[in-house]
Structure formats: C-alpha cells, structure tokens
Structure 1
Amino acid sequence: MSATAKNLRARAALAVVAVLGGALAVAGAPGVASASTGRAATVYTLSNSAAGNSVLAFRDVHGVLAPAGSYPTGGLGSDAGLGSQGAVVPADHGRILLAVNAGSDSVTSLRVAEDGVLSAVATVASGGTRPVSVTVHGDLVYVLNAGSGTITGFRLHDGVPAPLAGSTRAVSSGAAGAAEVAFSPDGSRLVVTEKGSNSLDTFTVDRHGRASTASRTASAAAVPFGFDFDSRGNAVVSDAAASAVTTYSVASGTARQLAYLPDGGGAACWLVVSRPTGTAYVANAATGTISTYRVHDGALTLTAPIAATVGGHPTDEALGRGDVLYIRDATNNRLQAVRFGAVGAQVTDAPSVLPGSAAGIAVVDR
C-alpha cells in the first residue's frame, strides 16, 4: 500500500467511533480511532523496532484512548529501552513531530494534521550515534547522541531539520548514561542529565544557535534522569536512586543546586512540569505511582507522595491541556491518561497494544 493510501485510510479511521468494550486493533498498522466532535489530543510513542521504527498514534476523545495509526519513520529503532526522556517531541506549535531512530543514528520529522494523522517529511543523520533525546526552541533543534556522547544542532526549515554547521559538542569528560537534553524556557541554555556519572552538563547557546563547551556539575543524588524547567528557568530533575527531586539554577551557565526533596516512592525517573500551575509530576517506576510537587522559584513542596496509583511500570510522561498526564506503562505495554480532580485521580488505560521495545511519549493537543 502506498504512503498516500495509508494516510487516507488513517484519516477515514478517525471518523469511526471505537467501542472499547471488546478487543481493539493492534497499533501495528493504521487502525480504528474514536470520532471527535471537538478538540482531541493525540498521543504518540515510538515502536523503537530494529526492523523499522514507527510512530504509534492514539486519539484521546472524551477520556478514551484508542489506537489511531502507525507511521514509519524511515529509520530503525534499537529493540530495547532507550533509558531516556524526550525521544519524541512536538515542534512548530504541534505542527511537526520529531522522533529519534536510535538504531540508525537519525532523526525523523513528521507533519501533524489537525486530526493527528502524520506524514513523514524528512529523515536526517543525527550527527552522532544512538540518538535518545531531542529538544526544540523555536526553529532550533538539538539532539542528544548517547552513543557518541555528543549534542548536535539543527534548524527547522519547512519541517526539515537542517544540520547547523559547527554545532556538535561533546558532553563533559567522563560522562556516562546520557538521558535527556532540553532547552531552558528562554532558549539560552541546554542541559543534559547523565545517569551513569551522576552529573549534569550545562551549555550556553549563542545568538547563532551554537552551544558552548559543557560545564559539568555533580548531581545532588545518584542517577539524575528526566527533567523539565519551572517558569523561572530552573531545572527540576528526578533522582532515580533516591526517588527524589532536585532543582538547579542554570542562569550562570553552570548548574547550581537550589533544593532537594525525596518523594517517598521508588525510582523517580521521568518528570514533567506544568509551568502555568507550578506542578511537577514524577513517575515512580518501581512503585507504580505518580508523585506531585509544587515548584516555586526553585523551592520544592511535596504536595502528594501518591497523587495517583497507575500500577505497572510508569515511564515516559507528557502533559496535555488541563494538566492531563499521559504515561507509558512498560510492564503492561499500554498508554495511560491520568486526570487529577478534587476527589482524586482518574486513570484511563488504553488497550495493551504497545511493543515491548516502545520508547518516548508526546502529546499534540490543538
């Protein structure tokens, strides 16, 4: 079947109401999705298959997550967990999706239609080996290549990531286990967490988009993993070994610790921050729970050690409109949506259709 035919089939599928009381089609091919009478979020994850990487889409309509298609990236996955955050991310206000191909050292951009359907735009070399994380600020993109221990920059031109000459930088000497690269909210800094060497690297980004050499800081606790930024540009980092969160100021170009607070769970690995509300959501992979913190000017308050019990092995996280938290459960091979309310958290499970190699999560809610 041609790519055009596949996209037409996926578009038609989105007009069908899925009945989730029975078995649903596996998201290994364009499948049935629930109809939308209004705005609906589309959640994406990667198959990460070594036989051919694909973006797997799910449509969230009225609180129901239904498979909504599979879209080849043109690259290869690794067939194993990436141990990272940010393997697939939206760009250009949700009109573009960027996905890493860890098995073929490349990055793919895909155009996002209003109904969430994807069409591949370009696949380009990542500038190193084993890309695991990607970050975007405006039209500037940086990719973290964990295999080569480097970051490389790109400019997005009509959805195509064009390599930025002279932008490749090495992470700090002795760094190991690179997990995530992310821009500060103003785009002036890049931060990389390194699980194996218990450190953070900070890069200053110049007006041409090129990063400086790395400035290394020892982390407050072992295994710094996923992170995000608060509204003041402070890095909010999960510490997996202690199941804790640490905040750092990066305004000077070097990470400086501000606060540290355990969450009482187990293996806090993935973390996202709602800047409008100042809430940090932490996935405790070992205990199957979500903890929440209040983050204000780098200060931390643990608002709920167990804000939600999701079970399984919660890994990648993404936030949708209204602070709906989307999670990939690596034990039950499914996506989950968590809605927080006055009477507690409501957890909705999608069908168990993800491959065991799946990695990353992103949401486009427009």
Structure 2
Amino acid sequence: MEELMTEQSSNVATAVYVQTNDATENEVVAFGRREDGQLAPLGRFPTGGRGTGEPHLPSQSSIVLSDDGAQLLVVNAGSDELSLFSVGDGGLLLSDRVASGGATPTSVAIHGDLVYVLNNGTPNIAGFKIDNGRIVELEGSARPLSADNADPAQVSFSLDGRTLVVTERGTDSISAYAIDERGHASGPTTIKSSGKTPYGFDFTPDGAMIVTEAFGGALGAAAASSYSLTDPGRLAPVSGSVGDTRSEVCWAAVTKDGRFAYVTNFGDGTISSYEIARDGRLALRDAVAGSTRLGEKGIRDEAISRDGRYLYAIDADAQKVFGWAVGSDGALASIGAFEGVPQTVAGLAAS
C-alpha cells in the first residue's frame, strides 16, 4: 500500500458522523475510527428535530464539525431547525437546537464561533454565533441568494473565514458573500459557473475552490472546475470544466495538502480523483479512483479524516459507509464497508 498522508492528530475523538434524516426523529449515527481506519458503532444521538424522511437529501455539508472538532452541527430539514452537539470520547451531547432562520435547511458552515445555515426552501442564508454551548441568532444577518429559484446545494466558508460561498444549481451560478468583523455577510456577488449544475465544493489550503458540476445528471457529463478568491466575497475562474467521464457528480473533498480532490459520482457508484496544481488548475487523475458498488447508483456525501489518512463516503442505497486509505500519490485503497445507516442517510463529517 502507498505511504499514507499524515497530519498531527488533535485530542478530540476520531470518529465519523452521519445523520439519519428521519422524518419522525432525526438522529446522528456515530462511528468510532480505529488507527487502521476501520469503523465501529458508537451509538445514535437524537437531534431533537426532524428530517425530510426522503432518501438522497440534495446537499453537501448537512452535518459539519467545528474547526477544533469539539462541536458538531446538524441541520434538520424537516423541522427547519439547527442542532448543536458537544463531542466527547463516549459520543455526543445535545447542547442546543434553534430555528434555522428559513425553510428547509440543507447545509451548514462554521468558522470559529460563526455559523451560517443555508435554507433551500426560502432560499437564504442565516447567521448565528456559538456562545457557551448555545446557538445565538446573529440579528440582521439573513441574506437572500441571487434568485428565488436558486436551488442551493452547499454553503461553506473560505479557510480564512472572510468569504462565504453558496452554489446555486437552479441558476447555474456561484454566489459569494464578504464577511465583516461582526460576522455579517454582504452581497452576494454572483458569477456564472463554468459548467451546469454546480453542486459540492471544497477549498485547498492555498484558497482555491474546487466545485463539482453535475450537468443536470446527463450521462457521462460529470465535471469539476476551480476558482480563486480575488478579494473577500469575489471569485474568479481558474480551470473551466474538466470532465471525469462519469455521471451525476455531486460531492467534493480536497486532501489536507491541497494536491488532490475526490468527487463522488452518484450515477455509477464511483469516485474520481483530480490533481490540483499550485495555481489551482485541475487535471483528471483517475476517472475511477474508487467505488462503492461499481455501476450502481448510491454513493453520496464524503469527507477526509482530520489527519488526512482516510476518505469516507456513504452509499445510501447500500445503507453503508465505505472507507479508503489515502495514498501520498493520491491513490485510494479500500479499507472496507460498514453497516448501520438507513436509506435516508445524509451528510458525513469525519474527525
């Protein structure tokens, strides 16, 4: 097996978290991670809210960890709420639950103590602060997207926290907001996506943003593109659409050193890998770097562990979490599949 990418580990528990998105009682399903990447069930932890109860929640980052891994945020798309957990060695403790500031929250972002929720049904973004284990509304922080038909997929902060980005599938656009010292967002400044149906994205340590493009689910049309941040709240294209030859790409994860990106292709159960140049330009490395069930639909949300050694992804239709070791050359090596998630499973965060 290739040499594994490593990074200094933190003191927080090493685990993988997903949400059930259950319409009656949403829960977080937690798995403990062993040194070899294997997962073992830690338990289920009610969010206090409700999911949609439908398979394939159409978003990235419906569940996220704080920068230090000590807190976990989960959107409850069915009850229009946001839940906050504190993370411990033995599992999760529900700290707070508040209204999301809009309808049908599907994605959430955190930087320090600042949180923004993406409400797909409104559509808007709404800001909050975490204060002593409580979620406090950031008054006057709600902002609209570029259009009522935006159909947003993901919200996330740039690594420096000065920009908040939302991908808009309905308008084939990407909206960016500048964040001021109070945590309020100004904008959006909206640009057309390089390709159609921009979906999930992630940032490199140097600030390049890698975005997947589903092209409406057209067969063999899946692609990714990249952008740079020219100023807070302003994006500029770097790489145009670079195809991966697969279908229905949606989710993106960038390695800790910023050299590779992995995108999951729902249409055929595959993961494609891209090489990322120093200037943020993309080149396809492997059309099929890994797979859950090759040729079968179902692979969805993914995340790389905090130490950079492992990639995990859910296959909702198989009702499993799959894992791979991440090689220093970007190659993926399967470490197995782990049961214990429902067909409505959504989101994935890894510490």
TM-score where L is the length of structure 1: 0.85
2:17 is aligned to 44
Residue range with higher mean Cα deviation, 344-353 or 163-172: 344-353
Residue range with higher mean Cα deviation, 132-141 or 58-67: 58-67
Residues 344 and 249 of structure 1: CA distance in aligned 2, closer, same or farther (over 3 Å): closer
2:132 is aligned to 158
Per-residue CA deviation, residues 177-209 of structure 1 (Å, 9 max, x unaligned), is 210000011111111001122111111111111
Structure number with greater CO (CA < 8 Å, separation at least 6) is 2
Structure that is richer in strand per residue = 2
The answer to whether structure 1 residue 89 and structure 2 residue 64 are counterparts is yes
Contact 2:12–2:69 (CA<8 Å) still a contact in 1? no
The answer to whether structure 1 residue 326 and structure 2 residue 312 are counterparts is yes
Contact 1:47–1:55 (CA<8 Å) still a contact in 2? yes
Q: Give runs of aligned pairs for residues 162-201 of structure 1, distance below 5 A.
A: 162-201=136-175
The answer to whether structure 1 residue 315 and structure 2 residue 309 are counterparts is no
CA-CA distance at 1:39 after TM superposition: 8.8
2:75 is aligned to 100
1:207 is aligned to 181
d(CA) in 1 for partners of 2:69, 2:290: 28
The answer to whether structure 1 residue 306 and structure 2 residue 288 are counterparts is yes
The answer to whether structure 1 residue 254 and structure 2 residue 227 are counterparts is no
d(CA) in 2 for partners of 1:281, 1:343: 9
1:219 is aligned to 193
TM-score where L is the length of structure 2: 0.88
CA-CA distance at 1:216 after TM superposition: 1.4
Per-residue CA deviation, residues 273-329 of structure 1 (Å, 9 max, x unaligned), is 124242111111112211111223221122222211222421101111233101000
d(CA) in 2 for partners of 1:130, 1:272: 24
d(CA) in 1 for partners of 2:258, 2:117: 28
Per-residue CA deviation, residues 230-277 of structure 1 (Å, 9 max, x unaligned), is 222222100012311111123233332110211122222100112424
Residue range with higher mean Cα deviation, 192-201 or 173-182: 173-182
- Does the residue aligned with 2:68 lie in a helix, a strand or coil? helix
Contact 1:240–1:268 (CA<8 Å) still a contact in 2? yes
User: Please, which runs of 5 or more residues in structure 2 have no aligned partner?
Assistant: 1-10, 216-220
2:53 is aligned to 79
- Does the residue aligned with 2:308 lie in a helix, a strand or coil? helix
Contact 2:27–2:47 (CA<8 Å) still a contact in 1? yes
CA-CA distance at 1:40 after TM superposition: 6.4
User: Please, which runs of 5 or more residues in structure 1 have no aligned partner?
Assistant: 1-37
- Does the residue aligned with 1:45 lie in a helix, a strand or coil? strand
CA-CA distance at 1:139 after TM superposition: 0.8
Q: Which one-letter code corresponds to 1:100 in the other structure?
A: V
- Does the residue aligned with 2:187 lie in a helix, a strand or coil? coil
Identity %: 39
- Which structure would you say has the larger Rg? 1
CA-CA distance at 1:96 after TM superposition: 0.5
Contact 2:172–2:193 (CA<8 Å) still a contact in 1? yes
d(CA) in 1 for partners of 2:38, 2:163: 38
1:136 is aligned to 110
Q: Which one-letter code corresponds to 2:18 in the other structure?
A: T
1:289 is aligned to 270
d(CA) in 2 for partners of 1:355, 1:314: 13
Contact 1:92–1:139 (CA<8 Å) still a contact in 2? no
Residue range with higher mean Cα deviation, 60-69 or 196-205: 60-69
Q: Which one-letter code corresponds to 1:59 in the other structure?
A: G
CA-CA distance at 1:176 after TM superposition: 2.2
CA-CA distance at 1:349 after TM superposition: 3.6
d(CA) in 2 for partners of 1:343, 1:170: 38
State the superposition RMSD in angstroms.
Answer: 1.9
d(CA) in 2 for partners of 1:192, 1:175: 14
Q: Which one-letter code corresponds to 1:77 in the other structure?
A: G
Residues 271 and 335 of structure 1: CA distance in aligned 2, closer, same or farther (over 3 Å): same
Moved over 3 A (4+): 340-345, 348-352
Contact 1:228–1:272 (CA<8 Å) still a contact in 2? yes
Q: Which one-letter code corresponds to 2:161 in the other structure?
A: G
d(CA) in 2 for partners of 1:97, 1:152: 18
1:280 is aligned to 261
Q: Give runs of aligned pairs for residues 113-132 of structure 1, distance below 5 A.
A: 113-115=88-90, 117-132=91-106
